Structure 1
Amino acid sequence: MTMIPEEISTSIQDAESVILLTHVHPDGDAVGSMLGCAGILKSLGKKVFCYLEEPVPYLYRFLPDCETVNSSLTELSSFVNENKNVIGISLDCGDCDRLGKNKDIFLRIEPFLVIDHHRSHKDFGMHRWVDPDRSSTGEMVYELALHLQAGISYNCAYNLYVAISTDTGSFRYDSTTSRTLRIAADLLDIGVCPDEISDYIHNNFTLERIRLLEMVLGTLSLHAYNQLAVIHVTGKMFEKSGALPEDVEGFVDFPRSITSVKIAAFVKEGKDGSISVSLRAKGEHDVAEIAKAFGGGGHRNAAGFSFTDKTAEQVHQIVTDELTRMFERSS
């Protein structure tokens, strides 16, 4: 595991004000890390602006302090103009393109720091702390707090626990280390209740989500002697079910849970017609390498990539054909 670069800690210590950013379509690690980091920085006397391109997904609106997240570029500009020594920090973002449509504005902030744990990270920013051996960015933010001797409040601990637990699949993935579990124990000592958080994460779904899940599972196809499972969702399914884009989080885990399946793929149609693919693996297969071949990236057991010129059904077939060939070559 890498040490925290001196440029990262020094830049934070010298700053008076900080803009925190994360990737578009944020997951639990992204939102939890941002809010946890905000709490840590505020305990050090920093002024903090948390920016998301869109509002916090409803799945994570139970997180304390989530109401402080702002989607207004006008208010962000005012924050920059009204404060001194402003720095930017990107959290859990492996590629600057995932900062969203306003990435060029953010990248002009100096210094711009990057804290991330994606193995396929594409370097950007002025100073970077990238550690693929960490289970989550939330784990890295906790280590940063210790390094800076910052206070960790209950709210901060709560957010970091959500970040870590969601990105480790509730501590099921092989990215979970003994250090991960020790950090989780420390957060529990601060007062976090794992049963409460688990209930929010796993038992907090709308009826529309369940209706969408029924449709998506209806697209399930199995290949390569049932070692590969592929599902997809289309815009029409969203319309018919009334579900939201964030409702699909975790859907890929259903085909992945099939005993024989070694790789699961979930093809998703976005609002703008773009198609994203989420890959999940168990066992010896490295889906980050597969995603890389399509211009994407991620972790060994969780990765993704996207298309802009095809339908969900077409991508479903492309992914099926390519991964089936991969299984045939490895057999």
Structure 2
Amino acid sequence: MEAIPEAILDTIRRAEKMVLLTHVHPDGDALGSALALRDILEGLGKKTLVFFEEPISFLYTFMPGSDRVCINFEEVKQFAAGGAADSVLLIALDVGDKNRLGRYREELTALAPLLVIDHHLSYDVFGDYSLLEVGISSTAEMVYELALALRATVTLPAAKNLFAAISSDTGSFRYDSTGPRTMRIAADLLELGVRPDEISSALYDNSSLSRLRLLKEVLDTLQLHAEGRVAVVHVEGDMFRRVRAEMDDAEGFVEYPRSLRKVEVAIFLKEKKDGQIGVSLRSKGNFDVSEVARMFGGGGHRKAAGCRFHDEDLSSVRGKILAAVNARLATGA
């Protein structure tokens, strides 16, 4: 990562209070980065508040400090009130698009200056300051570099959250975004006392019985296309009800079709409670799924991306995504 601009470091140093934000339905990188940065900033004497629109998924409650977050926007306004113009700073982590800040995005960005820290290829410039490193493994990697630049202490709880975030966003260090610097940072975190077996167990070996039953239902929907190069699975609302599973139990299911030998693109369609259809895309080889996601208002990385559809059914969404993927496969994109 290139040197962090002194102007950004000075902005952080001047601020007395900071509100840490991330995208809606935060993943492991978003959560781990926010929780770790809060710990790092508090070590520098800053007052901090981590705000999410909704409670943290049970999948990530093992993260240190996950029980100390705010989900009430009125509390955010009270926290940010008063003080000099540069005494309050918003920091958005792992957010590649302003819309991903959620339903309070306009009110939030009106409260104070905004610093965006992100690593997405599909980053859409917004905010007053930005720290962008496309191609780096995770936002957590950037948070660690920021801590070093600020000469801040990285405590063991922060180190655990950073390691969990990096592991989550690299598929346990399997994706090609994992570089030498990623592994050096991981080694630094181990030297601070992180146990990789503990983090891996919490992330990957913590399934409920209902999750496994839901996985069986989802795998039964498997369809192969393009001579086995594309795999599609889906989950519908009645599947959750049938096995008494939670919406978050379907997290990560896209990795199962991706693991098939010949598959280059995996597609997971998820029917949500609000009627939306969430689409998760994963790839192997040179296929860039972020290009497909952007066609439908989404985004992400070359090997992992997603988008959402409103007021459409599963069949319609499946057809649109498959058509886009097949068209790119046909052209060798």
TM over 0.5: yes
Q: Which amino acid in 2 is paired with 1:323?
A: V
Match of 2:318?
Answer: 316
Match of 1:256?
Answer: 258
Give yes or no for contact 1:17–1:83 (8 Å, CA) kept in 2: no
Match of 1:4?
Answer: 4
Give yes or no for contact 1:229–1:263 (8 Å, CA) kept in 2: yes
Match of 2:67?
Answer: 67
Match of 1:201?
Answer: 203
Match of 2:20?
Answer: 20
Q: Which amino acid in 2 is paired with 1:18?
A: M
Q: Deviations over 1:145-186 (max 9, x none)?
A: 000000010001010001111000000000000000000000
SS in 1 for 2:197: helix
CA RMSD in angstroms comes to 1.4
Deviates more, 1:278-287 or 1:229-238: 229-238
Match of 1:140?
Answer: 142
Corresponding residue to 2:282 among 255, 280, 283 = 280
CA distance in 1, matches of 2:99, 2:3: 26
SS in 2 for 1:150: coil
Unaligned stretches of 5+ residues in structure 2: none
Shift of 1:83: 6.2
Match of 1:119?
Answer: 121
CA distance in 1, matches of 2:321, 2:223: 11
Give yes or no for contact 1:29–1:162 (8 Å, CA) kept in 2: yes
CA distance in 2, matches of 1:46, 1:312: 46
Match of 2:174?
Answer: 172
SS in 2 for 1:283: coil
Deviates more, 1:271-280 or 1:55-64: 271-280
Q: Deviations over 1:183-204 (max 9, x none)?
A: 0000000000000111111111
Q: Which amino acid in 1 is paired with 2:116?
A: V
CA distance in 2, matches of 1:117, 1:215: 34
CA distance in 2, matches of 1:24, 1:128: 19
Shift of 1:309: 2.1
Match of 2:49?
Answer: 49
Corresponding residue to 1:158 among 160, 167, 170 = 160
Q: Deviations over 1:291-322 (max 9, x none)?
A: 22222211111111221121123212222233
Match of 1:329?
Answer: 331
Match of 1:225?
Answer: 227
SS in 2 for 1:151: coil
**CA distance 1:83–1:34, change in 2 (3 Å):** farther
Shift of 1:268: 1.3
CA distance in 2, matches of 1:169, 1:264: 15
Match of 1:34?
Answer: 34
Corresponding residue to 1:247 among 246, 249, 252 = 249
CA distance in 1, matches of 2:230, 2:321: 10
Match of 2:236?
Answer: 234
| 1:214 partnered with 2:216 | yes
CA distance in 1, matches of 2:167, 2:264: 22
Match of 2:95?
Answer: 93
Shift of 1:3: 3.2
Give yes or no for contact 1:232–1:316 (8 Å, CA) kept in 2: no
Count of matched residue pairs: 331
SS in 2 for 1:68: coil
TM-score in terms of structure 2 length: 0.96
Match of 2:104?
Answer: 102
SS in 1 for 2:54: coil
Match of 1:270?
Answer: 272
Match of 1:129?
Answer: 131
Shift of 1:49: 0.2
TM-score in terms of structure 1 length: 0.96
Shift of 1:324: 2.4
Deviates more, 1:218-227 or 1:289-298: 289-298
Deviates more, 1:33-42 or 1:75-84: 75-84
Q: Which amino acid in 1 is paired with 2:185?
A: I
**CA distance 1:204–1:308, change in 2 (3 Å):** same
Q: Which amino acid in 2 is paired with 1:178?
A: P
Give yes or no for contact 2:290–2:303 (8 Å, CA) kept in 1: yes
Shift of 1:82: 6.3
State the identity as a percent.
Answer: 49
